[in-house]
């Protein structure tokens, strides 16, 4: 397989990359890790007239921190997150999910911003971003704006990015004290897209009762599913098996999976409920244990 003809331009600054995007709009695509874009081009599913390579723009890579937020450059690669012990301690939810994302070769090249901008509904990172309450800074040649993760993903392989915009920063809020998290997914083989996956976070208040619960799914809809409202029944209470059964039932009523060659819609719905129970129980226990 070979891609359709295209023009290649290596950008050396954010300003140059955005100027090129402003000039060419939808005809141009940014090339980051290329782990999703290039296969799509090879299959002629994507036919950009121009590829703007942003890999040499150092300002778009790296991990930085402020008082209550960790900021990721969109060119930060999965491998950089896996090798950063401080990041893993701050975001155990992401650290637990990383080994499930594709394979080591892909994680070596794949970028955070490329994954989020690609918006594959079966991908783990978009659901994790929703669970964490992440915010994305996007920019054009003339202006910038912030988008909440819950508003960023609008359809399968579709985001709120305008034709001239580029994702330039990912803001991850630090978790509150006494917060436990858990990521789980079911896939036919390690590295395959998930039949269903879940990211859960539980924050405890007095007497080990839940003060905040966040729950998000991948693989069960055209976008990540923020199912936190289904877990609201846990607020003000300790987590019990009966309460988790209630959450699972609410999750199963909330989602409407389409099914795939890997699983029927009914099976995906069943798995989502099971994962919700297990992940919330694990997150709660980790919060109690101080992990």
pLDDT at position 241: 96
pLDDT in tens, 11-68: 999 999 999 999 999 999 999 999 999 999 999 999 999 999 999 999 999 999 888 9
**At residue 113, does pLDDT exceed 90?**
yes
* Mean pLDDT (the chain, rounded): 96
DSSP label of 258: -
pLDDT in tens, 214-223: 999 999 999 9
- Position 125 confidence tier, pLDDT thresholds 50, 70, 90: very high
Query: Which domains, ranges and CATH numbers included, belong to the chain?
Result: 7-53 (3.30.43.10), 63-173 (3.30.465.10), 179-289 (3.30.390.50)
Q: Where are the alpha helices (DSSP H) in the chain?
A: 14-24, 37-42, 78-82, 85-90, 92-97, 104-109, 112-118, 124-132, 149-152, 241-254, 265-289
CA-nearest of 110, 3, 8 to 46 is 3
Q: What are phi and psi of 6, to 5 degrees?
A: -150, 160
**At residue 291, does pLDDT exceed 80?**
no
pLDDT at position 174: 97
**At residue 1, does pLDDT exceed 80?**
no
CA distance 283 to 184: 11
pLDDT at position 191: 78
Mean of pLDDT values over 128-149: 98
CA distance 225 to 289: 28
**At residue 75, does pLDDT exceed 80?**
yes
pLDDT at position 261: 87
pLDDT in tens, 142-200: 999 999 999 999 999 999 999 999 999 999 999 999 999 999 999 988 878 889 999 99
- As a whole number of Å, the CA-based R_g of the chain is 19
pLDDT at position 67: 86
pLDDT at position 193: 82
Each as own residue / partner, the long-range contacts of residues 114-117 (CB below 8 Å, 24 or more positions apart, any chain) are 114/30, 114/32, 114/33, 114/34, 114/35, 114/36, 114/37, 114/74, 115/36, 116/74, 116/152, 116/159, 116/167, 116/170, 117/30, 117/74, 117/159, 117/161, 117/167
Task: Give bridge partners of residue 8 from the DSSP assignment.
Answer: 51
Which of 124-133, 185-194, 232-241 shows the lowest mean pLDDT across its residues?
Answer: 185-194
Residue owning tokens 């121009």 = 50
CA distance 99 to 154: 26
Mean of pLDDT values over 69-89: 97
CA-nearest of 127, 145, 125 to 136 is 145
pLDDT in tens, 274-285: 999 999 999 999
Please check whether residue 252 is in contact with residue 272, taking contact to mean a CB–CB distance below 8 angstroms.
Answer: yes
pLDDT at position 290: 86
Residue owning tokens 């090879």 = 42
pLDDT at position 251: 98
CA-nearest of 105, 68, 65 to 86 is 65
pLDDT in tens, 188-203: 888 788 899 999 999 9
**At residue 94, does pLDDT exceed 90?**
yes
- Look at residue 123 and give its three-state secondary structure: coil
**At residue 136, does pLDDT exceed 90?**
yes
Order of strands across the sheet that contains 179-186: 179-186, 196-204, 210-218, 225-226
């Amino acid at each position: 397989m070979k891609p359709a003809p295209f023009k290649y331009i290596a950008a050396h600054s954010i300003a140059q990359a955005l100027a090129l995007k402003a000039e060419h709009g939808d005809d141009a695509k940014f090339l980051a890790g290329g782990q999703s874009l290039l296969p799509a081009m090879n299959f002629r599913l994507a036919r950009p007239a121009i590829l703007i390579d942003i890999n040499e723009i150092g300002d778009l890579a790296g991990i930085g921190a402020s008082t209550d937020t960790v900021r990721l450059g969109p060119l930060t690669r999965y491998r950089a997150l896996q090798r950063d012990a401080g990041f893993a301690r701050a975001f155990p939810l992401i650290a637990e999910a990383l080994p499930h994302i594709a394979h080591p070769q892909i994680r070596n090249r794949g970028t955070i911003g490329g994954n989020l901008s690609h918006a594959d509904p079966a991908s783990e990172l978009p659901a994790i971003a929703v669970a964490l309450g992440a915010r994305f800074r996007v920019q054009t040649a003339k202006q910038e704006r912030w988008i909440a993760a819950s508003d960023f993903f609008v359809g399968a392989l579709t985001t709120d990015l305008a034709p001239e915009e580029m994702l330039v920063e990912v803001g991850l809020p630090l978790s509150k004290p006494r917060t436990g998290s858990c990521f789980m997914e079911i896939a036919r083989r390690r590295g395959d897209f998930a039949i269903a996956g879940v990211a859960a976070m539980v924050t405890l208040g007095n007497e080990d009762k839940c003060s905040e619960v966040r729950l998000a799914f991948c693989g069960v809809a055209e976008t990540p599913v923020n199912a936190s409202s289904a877990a609201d029944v846990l607020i003000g209470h300790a987590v019990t098996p009966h309460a988790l059964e209630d959450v699972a039932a609410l999750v199963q009523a909330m989602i409407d999976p389409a099914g795939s060659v890997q699983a029927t819609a009914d099976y995906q719905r069943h798995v989502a409920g099971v994962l919700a129970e297990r992940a919330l129980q694990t997150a709660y226990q980790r919060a109690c244990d101080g992990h």
